């Protein structure tokens, strides 16, 4: 009889901490723990929230009748690490220490490995992170920019992208390591990524700002115009960064980042809404084309995922633009919690070997530069 592993997945975000309890791959309990601005205001740094968020997880488990000592495996989102290849990683002292320092900048995801390690140490159970935001599998030529010393970096929705790729391949009887895919994670942020035989070799940058316009991000723009905005005196650096990365896109055009609102405007005959929305879809499709070039045209499938892919209007239009390249599959939604549990389960069943974090970035500049 197959052994059942009880797995607790922890995924901290900016205003919430998601937890989910699985028996192998079957979810038995989940909760999205909300954190108000009032609750977070006294924490100067993200790292200062660690114990507060841990106590929230403990309370949620207890209130719903689940015991942490009954958990067999703890798995977290990961984050705050130096660049690494994809996979499931053991949470070592070095990994947790780097996460606590936020080696690539402060983000709530860095708390996951530390919270899980606390539980793992307390109850003597294994602890992992799966495809953290720091995954970098770019090919060398994908990093080149037109300014020496400025590199294109890998910032992708790696957890959901890898999980969707694995699910698609399993459903179609192929190995992820043998497939060439273009994955489009379509949400508030959008990443369009070339998956070449198990590696994400190129994508747009969802953190530093490249790619198609999204519900909340400006996307690619003529850089001289951005420079003019920066020197206009209208914005501080933080204000302009927020305008481009948090309050841009559909939100800037219409005051809402909900695509359903925009589609309602279109249905009511709003021509401007149609132009802007169709322009976003057009930009997404152009990036699919670009990532197909990264795969030299050998594309087995194009996959649409994330919340926006629930939209038939959007997915049908993308198919019109790119369906000639390869078959287009729509796998809507996000599977981050399932991805965390699945990664831990693969290690526990021997399907995958856990990696050890080296603390050395997988890429640190061009040879001979």
| Each residue's pLDDT tens digit, 320-329 | 999 999 999 9
pLDDT at 368: 82
- Is the distance from CB of 133 to CB of 78 less than 8 angstroms? yes
- Is the distance from CB of 135 to CB of 86 less than 8 angstroms? yes
164 and 236 share one domain: yes
Q: For residue 361, is it within any domain? A: no
Q: What is the DSSP string of 220-278?
A: S--HHHHHHHHTSSS--HHHHHHHHHTS-HHHHHHS---HHHHHHHHHTT-HHHHHHHH
156 and 108 share one domain: no
Strand partners, 306: 332, 333
96 and 231 share one domain: no
In terms of Cβ atoms closer than 10 Å to its own Cβ (0-12, 13-18, 19+), residue 124 is: exposed
Q: What's the structural domain count of the chain? A: 2
301 and 166 share one domain: yes
pLDDT at 106: 83
Pairing of strands 199-203, 190-196: antiparallel
| Each residue's pLDDT tens digit, 249-304 | 999 999 999 999 999 999 999 999 999 999 999 999 999 999 999 999 999 999 99
Tell me the Ramachandran region of residue 192: left when phi exceeds 0, alpha when psi lies from -120 to 50, beta otherwise.
beta
Q: For residue 365, is it within any domain? A: no
pLDDT at 152: 95
107 and 64 share one domain: yes
Q: For residue 346, is it within any domain? A: yes
pLDDT at 367: 86
Q: Quote the CA–CA distance of 283 and 288 in Å, as a whole number.
A: 9
Average pLDDT of the chain, as a whole number: 96
342 and 330 share one domain: no
Q: Which helix (H) or strand (E) holds 11?
A: strand 6-12
23 and 110 share one domain: yes
47 and 152 share one domain: no
Q: For residue 274, is it within any domain? A: yes
Residue for token pair 């939209």: 311
pLDDT at 2: 81
295 and 342 share one domain: no
In which residue ranges of the chain is pLDDT below 70? Answer: 1
Q: For residue 366, is it within any domain? A: no
Domain range for 207: 140-334
């Amino acid at each position: 009889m197959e052994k059942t592993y009880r797995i607790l997945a922890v995924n901290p975000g900016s205003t919430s901490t998601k937890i989910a309890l699985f028996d192998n791959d079957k979810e038995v309990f989940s909760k999205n723990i909300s954190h108000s601005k009032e609750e977070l205001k006294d924490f100067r740094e993200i790292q200062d929230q660690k114990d507060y968020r841990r106590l929230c997880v403990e309370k949620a488990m207890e209130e719903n009748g689940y015991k942490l000592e009954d958990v067999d495996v703890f798995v977290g989102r990961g984050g705050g690490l130096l660049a690494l290849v994809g996979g499931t990683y053991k949470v070592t002292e070095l990994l947790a220490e780097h996460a606590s320092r936020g080696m690539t900048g402060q983000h709530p995801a860095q708390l996951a490995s530390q919270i899980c390690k606390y539980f793992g140490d307390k109850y003597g159970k294994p602890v992992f992170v799966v495809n953290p935001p720091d995954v970098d599998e770019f090919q060398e030529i994908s990093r080149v920019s037109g300014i020496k010393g400025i590199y294109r970096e890998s910032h992708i929705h790696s957890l959901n992208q890898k999980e969707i790729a694995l699910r698609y391949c399993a459903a179609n009887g192929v190995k992820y390591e043998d497939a060439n895919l273009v994955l489009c994670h379509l949400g508030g942020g959008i990443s369009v990524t070339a998956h070449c035989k198990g590696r994400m070799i190129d994508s747009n940058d969802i953190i530093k700002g490249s790619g198609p316009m999204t519900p909340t991000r400006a996307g690619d723009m003529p850089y001289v115009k951005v420079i003019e905005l920066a020197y206009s005196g209208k914005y501080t650096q933080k204000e302009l960064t927020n305008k481009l990365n948090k309050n841009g896109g559909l939100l800037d055009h219409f005051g809402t980042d909900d695509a359903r609102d925009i589609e309602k405007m279109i249905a009511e005959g709003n021509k401007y809404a149609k132009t802007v929305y169709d322009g976003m879809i057009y930009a997404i499709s152009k990036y699919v084309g670009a990532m197909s070039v990264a795969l030299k045209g050998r594309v087995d499938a194009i996959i649409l995922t994330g919340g926006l892919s629930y939209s038939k209007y959007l997915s049908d239009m993308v198919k019109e633009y790119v369906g000639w390249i390869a078959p287009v599959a729509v796998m809507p939604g996000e599977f981050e919690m399932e991805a965390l549990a699945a990664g831990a389960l693969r290690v526990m069943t021997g399907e995958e070997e856990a990696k050890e974090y080296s603390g050395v970035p997988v890429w640190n500049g061009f040879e001979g530069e």
